[in-house]
A = this chain, B = another copy of it.
């Protein structure tokens, strides 16, 4: 059970941004250097973050990105959902016509996976970006 690197890098990059109090735009180039993440990969990630209103961009020289919310209110769950990192640990699907494992009925473990998803989501719901930089 692994988290993908896009999500991980997103959290790293946003935590990096949040650790500067002044709200001057932060360039991806700087984040790239400080966090050892490929610039072009960051571009992909920030495109998604921007589309989901987690950051806004300022173009041109001295431009960069700024957080749209305060780090104390930005939930990690928002970041993950921006990157389509949906916590859906199995293919068991309530909504499809077919049930679990291609059958018409719920599989024996169906409720378990639902509970697991809820459990993990709760973790991300309760964590704020600020929690990462307080230490």
Q: Which A residues fall within an 8 A CB radius of B? A: 1-5, 8, 11-12, 15-16, 19, 35-37, 76, 85, 87-91, 101-103, 107-109, 111-113, 115-116, 119-120, 123, 127, 131-133, 135
Contact A108 B19 (CB under 8 A): yes
Residues on B with C-beta less than 8 A from A133 are 108
Cβ contact of A107, chosen from B4, B12, B107, cutoff 8 A? B12
Assembly CA distance A15 to B100 (angstroms): 15
Contact A35 B101 (CB under 8 A): yes
Assembly CA distance A123 to B113 (angstroms): 11
Contact B90 A8 (CB under 8 A): yes
Assembly CA distance A15 to B4 (angstroms): 30
Contact B132 A123 (CB under 8 A): no
Cβ contact of A85, chosen from B1, B91, B119, cutoff 8 A? B1
Contact B90 A108 (CB under 8 A): no
CB nearest neighbor in B for A124: B116
Residues on B with C-beta less than 8 A from A103 are 36
A-B contact pairs, 11 of them (CB 8 A): A1-B2, A3-B116, A8-B113, A12-B101, A12-B108, A16-B108, A19-B108, A36-B101, A36-B103, A116-B123, A119-B119
The 4 closest A-B pairs by CB, nearest first: A3-B89, A15-B108, A119-B123, A36-B101
